[in-house]
Structures are given as C-alpha cells and as structure tokens.
Structure 1
Amino acid sequence: MAWKGAISKSLQELRIHLCQSGPASSGVREFLISNYAEIKKANPGFPLLVRECSGIEAKLIARYDFGVEKSVSIQGDNPQSIISKLDQLIKHGESLPKAA
C-alpha cells in the first residue's frame, strides 16, 4: 500500500476521531486494528493521533504545512472507504505549497 508511506510526505499530522463503542465508528476501529501498526512502522516520527470520545462523529482531520487543515467524515464508512478518503487527503496535500 503506497499510501502508508506517503502520509508523512504530504501531511504534517493526521487526527482520527471516533466513538469507542458506537456502530457508526465500527469501520474506523477495524481500519485502525488493521493498519495502525503498519502506518507507524512506515512513518515512525509522524504524529498519528487517535481521539476517542463517546458519541462523536467519526472523521479524519489532516493538517498540512502552514496550518492548513482539511476534515472528512468517515461516519459509517467501511475500512476500504476510509483508505480511499485518506488517499484523497494525501493527494490534496501533494498539491499544496510546502514549507522550506
């Protein structure tokens, strides 16, 4: 999966918000179980922040250079759909200006 190694090249930080027990966050939990270790292994110094809160809407929040942030809802999504949305965030970061 090329996107796992591209995360730290395009993003400054990735936050994942989810509910610990809600059914709408089940796909996010599955995504994290399947991919978290590999993402951290490919990007050891990259800030990948997982924030759990009861009843919160599941979403990905990407922070780019110059403090630019973009958020996408992953409420009710399956892991494959989450990967697709994460890939879109990575591609968006590739088009933004980079700090020196």
Structure 2
Amino acid sequence: MAWRNALSKSMQELRIHLCQSSPASQGVREFVVANYAEIKKANPQFPILIRECAGAEAKLTARYDFGVEKSVSVQGANPAAVLSQLQELIKAGEAMPKSGE
C-alpha cells in the first residue's frame, strides 16, 4: 500500500466528488469506506475533501503545486478502478515540478 504514503508527497489536496445514493457513485463510496481511515493515518495533515451532492458525477480531483489541478471521472467505476485512477493521479504528481525545488 505504498500509494497511501505517496499521496501527500505528490499532491497538495485530493477532492472526491460523489452522490450519496446513485449507483454510479457506488464504487467510489465503497473505496472511501474501505480506505479513508488508512489514508488519513498515513497522511494526517493531508487535506482530503469529500464532497457529496445528490446527482453529482463521481470524480477525483488532485491539486498539485503551482495551482495545477487534474480531474478524472470515476462514474460507474468499481473500487479497484477508483484506486487505479488515484494511482494515475499520484504518478502524474510525481512527474510535476515541486514548489520546494
């Protein structure tokens, strides 16, 4: 589970948008329930914002250094696909320039 530790090193913030009841958000809801506690334990100061709204499209948005943001849709995705998309956002952040460099 190295991706949990890499989260705060590769991005500044993670926003998770989802609908509380829509079947299309089921996978991201399951991902949050299964992983949120461990993610926060590994990254206690890292902001993870979970935005719930009826009818919202399920998506992950990463904010990187210098205000760069990248969003990916996880609409209809299962928890494994949500993890895969999150890992892609982490990889993208590792390749970006950092403000401390």
Decide: shared fold, TM above 0.5.
yes
Distance 2:91 2:80 in 1: 17
Which residue does the alignment assign to 2:82? 82
Aligned CA RMSD, in angstroms, stands at 0.4
1:85 deviation in Å? 0.5
Which residue does the alignment assign to 1:69? 69
CA deviation vs aligned residue, 1:24-80 (integer Å, no higher than 9, x gap):
000011001100000000000000000000001000000000000000000000000
Matching residue's letter, 2:82: I
Distance 2:25 2:68 in 1: 25
Which residue does the alignment assign to 1:29? 29
Distance 2:35 2:57 in 1: 20
Matches within 5 A, 1:35-50: 35-50=35-50
Which residue does the alignment assign to 2:15? 15
Distance 2:6 2:95 in 1: 13
Matching residue's letter, 1:95: A
Q: TM-score, normalised by structure 2?
A: 0.98
Distance 1:3 1:83 in 2: 9
Q: TM-score, normalised by structure 1?
A: 0.99
Distance 2:80 2:90 in 1: 15
1:98 deviation in Å? 0.2
Distance 2:40 2:71 in 1: 21
Runs of 4+ in 1 over 3 A off after TM superposition: none
Q: Unmatched 5+ residue regions in structure 2?
A: none
